[in-house]
């Protein structure tokens, strides 16, 4: 590994070089594009991000769950280097190439279910979600899409409509796409009903709201993140996803699993749906699929995927050859290094340490997640009132100490941990020490 796997602070974070770059950013880049930790990166690998001032930060973010195999992972670099020297682009819709086909073959093998599957490749997660809905609509001849509270599916017009949160994602950007209906999410920590029956009650509400407000026969697709990401790492209790799967099968609707954040070993399985053996009709993937290069996919039942007329799916860059090479390299890394197993080990470390911190910090209301996708929800002690102020204070104190950590949640009160699976146990523990210290410094 080229970068020494050690945290090191040589200046404040951000340091003078990053501050200069931030001034250039302020002058040249639209303000609407924010930055969470304004330390400008020059290099990254394993569990370390190096900034322009020479600071070495511990990475608990993976560029929002993207560099699951680590930054510049060897198999990704090797395959990208080979590919980029041969050709950079032809457009698969003009003169095709093998890498695209090979990624589609691998997705058919790796995604849940052993039915005949096909794939179409795109550039971003949002684009994959948009296309999954297009496919579901053509295949069913219906238009309604059902999504969930706290969902995040992207920033394009249709995906904004599917995303639940106003600020910052939707505010002022309407009008939004129509025929989108939202129902309650099985959110154990905040479920108002019987805590032992969250899966059943949430499903009952889904079923009755769809019946009354949409009509079963109108539903093209039900789209859900099997563990919600931006919404705050909300893990539905066992039984909720299988009920949705059965409902979709019974009513001729397409179940779309948005595994853009949860997919590719992140949760300790290849896909989060695998945890309960749920087999979605369509699955959207992106992020972890290609080790940091922009690639996204819709994979699903061959008969659904093939319902769209020739020429109906595509895009100039979809399945770019360099991104496909990167994806094959990332999958190779996942297989050779048993990264599903590594995600489970990381979960064990986080559960143990976060449980210990939560026992001493009454502001931590919930510890949850799966694999290397763990989170804590912060509340005012003695209540479940969200505490976004403390959440951002803990995040900022961690950033200052050289830990890249992200927040999430509809109420901005979730600290989420998404380390690359290539991180060492030492760096995990050190990062968790920094979280613990940040609480000691900031919590009342």
CB of 10 to ligand PLZ, least distance (A): 30
List of residues 6+ apart from 310 with CB closer than 8 A = none
Separation between Cα atoms, residue 352 and residue 309, nearest integer Å: 52
User: Is residue 149 within the footprint of ligand PLZ (CB under 6 A)?
Assistant: no
CB-based burial, 311-344: b 16+ in 10 Å, e otherwise: eebbbebbbbbbbbbbbbbbbbbbeebebbebbb
C-alpha torsion 182→186→192→196, nearest 10: 150
User: Is residue 270 within the footprint of ligand PLZ (CB under 6 A)?
Assistant: no
User: Is residue 225 within the footprint of ligand PLZ (CB under 6 A)?
Assistant: yes
Which residue minimizes CB distance to ligand PLZ? 125
**Which one, of 301, 302, 300, 294, lies nearest residue 319 by Cα?**
294
Nearer to ligand PLZ, 151 or 378 (CB): 151
Q: Which of 258, 274, 347, 387 binds ligand PLZ (CB under 6 A)?
A: 258
Q: Which of 55, 72, 119, 124 binds ligand PLZ (CB under 6 A)?
A: 124
CB of 261 to ligand PLZ, least distance (A): 4
CB of 5 to ligand PLZ, least distance (A): 26
CB of 168 to ligand PLZ, least distance (A): 8
Asked if residue 397 lies in contact with residue 428, where contact means CB atoms within 8 angstroms, the answer is no
Query: In this structure, what DSSP letter does residue 236 have?
Result: P
User: Is residue 158 within the footprint of ligand PLZ (CB under 6 A)?
Assistant: no
Find the largest Cα–Cα distance for the chain. Answer: 62
Binding mask 21-60 for ligand PLZ (x = CB under 6 A): ----------------------------------------
CB of 259 to ligand PLZ, least distance (A): 8
List of residues 6+ apart from 266 with CB closer than 8 A = 65, 68, 272, 288, 343, 371, 372, 373, 418, 421
C-alpha torsion 220→199→269→353, nearest 10: 140
CB of 197 to ligand PLZ, least distance (A): 26
User: Is residue 68 within the footprint of ligand PLZ (CB under 6 A)?
Assistant: no
CB of 126 to ligand PLZ, least distance (A): 3
Separation between Cα atoms, residue 49 and residue 40, nearest integer Å: 10
CB of 403 to ligand PLZ, least distance (A): 19
Nearer to ligand PLZ, 15 or 294 (CB): 294
Separation between Cα atoms, residue 285 and residue 423, nearest integer Å: 23
Per DSSP, helices labelled H in 196-320 are: 198-209, 240-251, 302-305
Nearer to ligand PLZ, 15 or 292 (CB): 292
Binding mask 352-391 for ligand PLZ (x = CB under 6 A): ----------------------------------------
**Which one, of 411, 417, 414, 412, lies nearest residue 432 by Cα?**
417
Nearer to ligand PLZ, 258 or 281 (CB): 258
Nearer to ligand PLZ, 87 or 173 (CB): 173
CB under 6 A: which stretch of 44-52, 125-133, 193-201, 241-249 binds ligand PLZ?
A: 125-133
Separation between Cα atoms, residue 263 and residue 273, nearest integer Å: 9
For 300, the 3-state DSSP assignment is strand
> What phi and psi values does residue 356 have, to the nearest 5 degrees?
-65, -45
Handedness of CA 156, 233, 344, 346 (dihedral sign): positive
User: Is residue 152 within the footprint of ligand PLZ (CB under 6 A)?
Assistant: yes
Nearer to ligand PLZ, 97 or 152 (CB): 152
Nearer to ligand PLZ, 52 or 133 (CB): 133
Query: Which residues would be at the binding site for ligand PLZ (CB under 6 A)?
Result: 64, 124-126, 129, 152-155, 225, 229-230, 258, 260-261, 286
């Amino acid at each position: 590994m080229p970068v020494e796997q050690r945290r090191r602070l040589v200046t404040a974070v951000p340091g003078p070089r990053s501050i200069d770059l931030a001034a250039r950013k302020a002058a040249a880049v639209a303000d609407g594009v924010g930055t969470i930790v304004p330390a400008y990166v020059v290099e990254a690998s394993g569990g370390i991000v190096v900034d322009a001032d020479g600071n070495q930060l511990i990475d608990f973010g993976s560029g929002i769950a993207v560099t699951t195999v680590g930054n510049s992972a060897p198999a990704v670099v090797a395959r990208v280097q080979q590919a980029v020297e041969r050709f950079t682009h032809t457009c698969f819709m003009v003169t095709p190439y093998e890498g695209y086909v090979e990624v589609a073959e691998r997705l058919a093998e790796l995604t849940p279910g052993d039915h005949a599957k096909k794939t179409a490749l795109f550039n971003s997660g949002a684009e994959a979600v948009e296309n999954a809905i297009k496919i579901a609509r053509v295949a069913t001849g219906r238009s309604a899409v059902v999504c969930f509270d706290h969902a995040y599916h992207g920033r394009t017009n249709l995906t904004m409509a599917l995303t639940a949160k106003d600020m910052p994602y939707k505010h002022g950007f309407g009008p939004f796409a129509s025929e989108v209906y939202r129902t309650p999410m099985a959110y154990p920590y905040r479920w108002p009903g019987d805590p032992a029956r969250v899966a059943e009650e949430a499903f009952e509400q889904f079923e009755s709201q769809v019946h009354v407000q949409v009509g079963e026969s109108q539903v093209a697709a039900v789209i859900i993140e099997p563990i919600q990401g931006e919404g705050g790492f909300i893990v539905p209790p066992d039984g909720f996803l299988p009920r949705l799967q059965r409902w979709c099968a019974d009513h001729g609707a397409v179940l779309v699993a948005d595994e853009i954040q949860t997919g590719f070993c992140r949760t300790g399985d290849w896909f989060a749906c695998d945890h309960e053996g749920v087999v979605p009709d369509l699955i959207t993937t992106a992020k972890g699929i290609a080790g940091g290069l922009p690639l996204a996919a819709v994979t699903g039942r061959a008969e659904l995927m093939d319902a769209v007329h020739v020429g109906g799916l595509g895009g100039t860059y979809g399945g770019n050859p360099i991104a496909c090479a990167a994806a094959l390299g990332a999958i190779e890394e996942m297989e050779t290094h048993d990264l599903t197993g590594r995600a489970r080990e990381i979960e064990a470390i986080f559960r143990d340490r976060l449980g210990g911190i939560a026992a001493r910090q009454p502001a931590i209301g919930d510890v949850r997640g799966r694999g290397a996708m763990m989170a804590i929800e912060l509340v005012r002690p003695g209540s479940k009132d969200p505490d976004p102020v403390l959440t951002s204070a803990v995040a900022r104190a961690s950033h200052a100490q050289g830990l890249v950590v992200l927040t999430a949640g509809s109420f901005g009160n979730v600290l989420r941990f998404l380390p690359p699976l290539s991180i060492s146990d030492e760096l995990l523990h050190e990062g968790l020490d920094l979280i613990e210290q940040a609480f000691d410094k900031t919590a009342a």
